[in-house]
Amino acid sequence: MHDDNHPDVPAAPYAVNIILHHSNMRRQDHLDTCVRNKVPIVITSVGDPVDVVKAVHGYGGLVLHDVINQRHARKAASAGVDGLILVCAGAGGHAGALSPFAMVGETRRWFDGLLLVGGAISSGRDVLAVRAMGADLAYVGTRFLATLEAHIPMDYKQAVLNAGTEDIVYTDLFSWVHANYLRSSVVEAGVDPDQLPTKEEYGRMREAQKGPVRKLWRDIWSAGQGAACIEDVRPAGDLVVDMLRDYEAARAELAGVSEAVAAA
């Protein structure tokens, strides 16, 4: 409908993220829906994407897979994915602990497919840095939490604005793998971020808890370290325009430095 009403500015290709972990009981339904609607890009994570690759390639779609280390990356590549999303240190949600410099450099030694990088990317300048590393695209998440269109509570958006790098807690306490969470929401869940309990202790805490149980993602909020660089809530379209302007300005600045060095 958007393309019909705005033929001069057609929508960009969209993507759907399917969690492949066995805890997602609806993963097959999600895949069936994607195939039925021929979703152009399917992003997979936390599991083996081989069946998704077969299904999505069947109608000409692309599959990108989240990875946090080389073992995951090589397994996804062997499954035939079209691109790897390197979820590096500082990323929101389920994230790895590796530096993007090391992760990109090592992956590019053997993988020549589409390469994306996520982790604390909040500006056009950050996007340019990712391209300079050797990646094709930047993967931006937390920055878009602080947009008018984000379907999250305003309190969540404000918590993102208030957060610095030390307000991001990296732990596997609440999920099956490590993820980054906003300290304020961890505290609201009755957990001391500086003295995290074991999973067993946390389980007992939840059993003894009176009143509504605070749920992961809904109440225990995720954000990446890039939250420290977010200062306002704005329309997503304005953010994209600003990031593009920042990207071009940074590229021109670096080009000017290169010319000055060459002329010296």
**Confidence band for 1, pLDDT divided at 50, 70 and 90:** low
Average pLDDT over residues 226-230: 97
175 in any annotated domain: no
Span 139-190, pLDDT tens digits? 999 999 999 999 999 999 999 999 999 999 999 999 988 999 999 999 999 9
89 in any annotated domain: yes
105 in any annotated domain: yes
252 in any annotated domain: yes
Span 182-223, pLDDT tens digits? 999 999 999 999 999 999 999 898 888 777 778 999 999 999
Span 111-147, pLDDT tens digits? 999 999 999 999 999 999 999 999 999 999 999 999 9
234 in any annotated domain: yes
In 3-state terms, what secondary structure has residue 263? helix
Q: What is residue 8's predicted lDDT score, i.e. its pLDDT?
A: 87
Is 148 in contact with 236 (CB distance < 8 Å)?
yes
* CA distance linking residue 134 with residue 116, whole number of Å: 10
Span 236-258, pLDDT tens digits? 999 999 999 999 999 999 988 77
* CA distance linking residue 242 with residue 120, whole number of Å: 17
Can you give the pTM of this predicted structure? 0.90
Q: What's the first-to-final CA gap in the chain, in angstroms?
A: 55
163 in any annotated domain: no
The residue among 5 and 19 whose pLDDT is bigger is 19
In 3-state terms, what secondary structure has residue 261? helix
141 in any annotated domain: yes
Is 43 in contact with 66 (CB distance < 8 Å)?
yes
**161 residue type, one letter:** L
**Confidence band for 11, pLDDT divided at 50, 70 and 90:** confident
Length of the chain: 264
128 in any annotated domain: yes
Quote the number of domains for the chain. 1
- Write out the E strands in 90-245: 93-94, 114-118, 137-139, 168-171, 179-182
Q: What does DSSP assign to residue 145?
A: G
Is 84 in contact with 103 (CB distance < 8 Å)?
no
Is 117 in contact with 88 (CB distance < 8 Å)?
yes
Is 139 in contact with 121 (CB distance < 8 Å)?
yes
Q: What is residue 117's predicted lDDT score, i.e. its pLDDT?
A: 97
Q: CATH no. for residue 245?
A: 3.20.20.70
Q: What is residue 59's predicted lDDT score, i.e. its pLDDT?
A: 96
Range of the domain at 53: 2-149+225-263
- Write out the E strands in 5-136: 15-19, 41-45, 62-67, 83-87, 93-94, 114-118
